[in-house]
Structure 1
């Protein structure tokens, strides 16, 4: 483990009378979460990727001169974690001395600190952890859950489970997992599809729908593994199952293909999780390429960027179903005008001391201020490296 320390310098512009506080201390940590079972979706079965055995997290912890604190995180699956951590170390000193309320200004400053490596992808995913920590701090300082600070439209959000339906899991176990999820209060079930033999997808989906009955919301996710003709054929075959959506049927950047598919099917098309900026999502929106947009706040640069995208999505009457990171996305979904969905994964639970409450098919916004999470001792134990800047 490598730890570095820097003395805070007054690098920010001269404060105006509206500035009451400044960022004085930052810690960035690389935490690797091991997965109990190697995870496989269609990308593994088609040979594009190896099974996933761990998830790398970038955590940012902030403190101010007045004693306020915030926490945020980003993540990477399979590769990229060390790169996010390295970039975070490079740009972190830029934040020292800044007014933590000036989140939009700080986002721009952090992005331009590393602009030569671009304004999407790994660089802005590193920025996201700082941005999320600043929003957490702001809500904590106000004594409000983040959803309430943003302006919640609801105190609970529909939720569905994904982690029980991966392709490495035998069908019988998928059925057992679905039963357990519904019994725990989760409202919908998503399973993975996109196998090399589409008949296997149909057999698996038939078994799940018969097991659940017609009333339980059911989604499928192909993880970008179909070409256009296959997506069209499978989409038509899936119509009889009454799905809430078909997710990522095509390559994430094929906006025209998604648009043609969405126009031809009764089943809604959902996509967006793999895109790494608001600009990339705008390509989906302007092509009418999705009925349901699935942004991931850590991937697109944080909460500041998510809110910009949410405004675009609302103006185009899109449904919202954020990807992964339910600890963050619960709050953002609660603040979206149209009824959204939040994706339930239990993978991240060992990282935090708190648990999200679920009942009657919905995830509940807690009364805890900010994101409502604190790092567990297990997360500290899984820390591979950390760096500190400034002084507490």
Structure 2
């Protein structure tokens, strides 16, 4: 951050006048990421800060819950809202410390949502991309597709082919989180796409013990997978 910008931020104020909180279910289908996990509903908890000088800051976090929309983050945020009204939304670090003092009974994700909104407000107030305000940016960021549990390895193969037609080249799998069926999927993927320049990862959702994780990792290494998330 330049010295000029730092001085500008020090002398600016933007008092928070209203805070709107939304819990929004996204996606029309519930998904599971392991054999022992029930189907989960995805929720975005979104905050919109409005200030007396007409500025807005938006922040959001994602979560998942069993059977129904996740309202826990929005409700956990409630004690913070009254205290933030009237505070200077540009004093992000100071406001974060005030919120953090209220842990552990305040959900970390509730604090994060409001913190993101204040950083967004600060960037807009200074007509800068948030990445520049934080000190750097990338012109290109590689994306990957995170694939939920599908019926069998063949279904995974077909889904990858569909995603590849959209331009995706990197994929992360979820499966049963049991070594033997997961190794079967890894071998199938490696065999089907050995000629393509695709990148593959696997997420075990903390389902393995140490011997199981090492067994799966050995097969992944032989199949050219990038990483195992355990």
Task: Please tell me the TM-score bracket, short chain as reference.
Answer: 0.7 to 0.9
Conserved? CA contact 2:170–2:198, under 8 Å:
yes
Conserved? CA contact 1:111–1:123, under 8 Å:
no
From 183, 189, 209, give the equivalent of 2:190.
209
CA distance, structure 2, for counterparts of residue 56 and residue 159 of structure 1:
21
CA distance, structure 2, for counterparts of residue 233 and residue 185 of structure 1:
32
Partner-residue secondary structure (3-state), 1:128: helix
CA distance, structure 2, for counterparts of residue 59 and residue 90 of structure 1:
16
The corresponding residue for 1:219 is 201
Change (3 A) 1:182 1:77: same
1:40: how far off? 2.0
Q: Does 1:91 align with 2:77?
A: no
Matching of residues 320-331 of structure 1 within 5 Å: none
Q: Which consecutive residues of structure 1, in runs of 5 or more, have no partner in the other structure?
A: 1-16, 249-392
Write the deviation string for residues 275-317 of structure 1: whole angstroms up to 9, x where unpaired.
xxxxxxxxxxxxxxxxxxxxxxxxxxxxxxxxxxxxxxxxxxx
Conserved? CA contact 2:144–2:172, under 8 Å:
yes
From 211, 224, 229, give the equivalent of 1:242.
224
1:71: how far off? 0.8
1:234: how far off? 1.9
Conserved? CA contact 1:158–1:187, under 8 Å:
no
Q: CA RMSD in A?
A: 2.2
Change (3 A) 1:247 1:150: same
- Taking structure 2 as the reference length, what is the TM-score of the superposition? 0.85
CA distance, structure 2, for counterparts of residue 22 and residue 207 of structure 1:
57
The corresponding residue for 2:23 is 30
Change (3 A) 1:177 1:116: closer
CA distance, structure 1, for counterparts of residue 138 and residue 103 of structure 2:
37
Q: Does 1:189 align with 2:171?
A: yes
| Equivalenced residues, count | 218
Conserved? CA contact 2:177–2:208, under 8 Å:
no
From 199, 211, 219, give the equivalent of 2:180.
199
Write the deviation string for residues 187-223 of structure 1: whole angstroms up to 9, x where unpaired.
3111124543x33222211222222225311111111
Partner-residue secondary structure (3-state), 1:190: strand
Deviates more, 1:136-145 or 1:100-109: 136-145
Conserved? CA contact 2:32–2:39, under 8 Å:
yes
Q: Does 1:61 align with 2:54?
A: no
1:144: how far off? 2.7
The corresponding residue for 2:11 is 18
Conserved? CA contact 2:16–2:87, under 8 Å:
yes
Matching of residues 261-280 of structure 1 within 5 Å: none
**Structure whose alpha-carbon radius of gyration is higher:** 2
The corresponding residue for 2:6 is none
Q: Does 1:128 align with 2:112?
A: yes
Change (3 A) 1:182 1:128: same
Matching of residues 1-392 of structure 1 within 5 Å: 18-33=11-26, 35-42=27-34, 45=35, 47=36, 49-52=37-40, 54-78=41-65, 81-112=70-101, 114-115=102-103, 117=105, 123-162=107-146, 165-196=147-178, 198-213=179-194, 215-248=197-230
